[in-house]
Amino acid sequence: MKFVFALFLVGVLAIVKAEECHNAGECVHVSCPENDYSLDCHNRQCTCTHTSATCSSQNDCNDGNCDRTQHCIDGRCRCGFGFGGIGR
């Protein structure tokens, strides 16, 4: 039983590791909400970065076109974060 659990855990870790991106070209499974966003790979996670909006907190990122959670990361508004293999 321990072997089955260990095998399952290794399989999950392999899937999670395989979903990390190294550049935006690996994020083709993600679509950004509008022209004001560009597809980006930030911290090995696919995200959509607003092309002009800057921020100092999440409250600065209130764009009604983003249908995902908005984040303020490194002074840039990002729509969604951490898209794995399940894009939209």
At CA 49, angle to CA 71 and CA 45, rounded to 5? 75
Domains: count for the chain: 1
- Residue 74 in domain: yes
- Residue 38 in domain: yes
Range of the domain at 64: 20-83
- Residue 31 in domain: yes
Q: What's the CA gap between 78 and 74, in Å, rounded? A: 10
- Read off the pLDDT of residues 44-80 as tens digits, 9 standing for 90 and up: 888 888 888 889 998 898 877 777 788 888 898 888 7
Please state the φ and ψ torsions of residue 19, each to the nearest 5 degrees. -90, 0
- Residue 4 in domain: no
Residues 54, 67 contacting (CB under 8 angstroms): no
- Residue 52 in domain: yes
**Spatial CB neighbours of 57, under 8 Å, sequence gap ≥ 6:** 72
- Residue 9 in domain: no
Question: Which is more confidently placed, 28 or 10?
Answer: 28
Neighbours of 36 (CB within 10 A): 17
- Residue 62 in domain: yes
pTM: 0.62
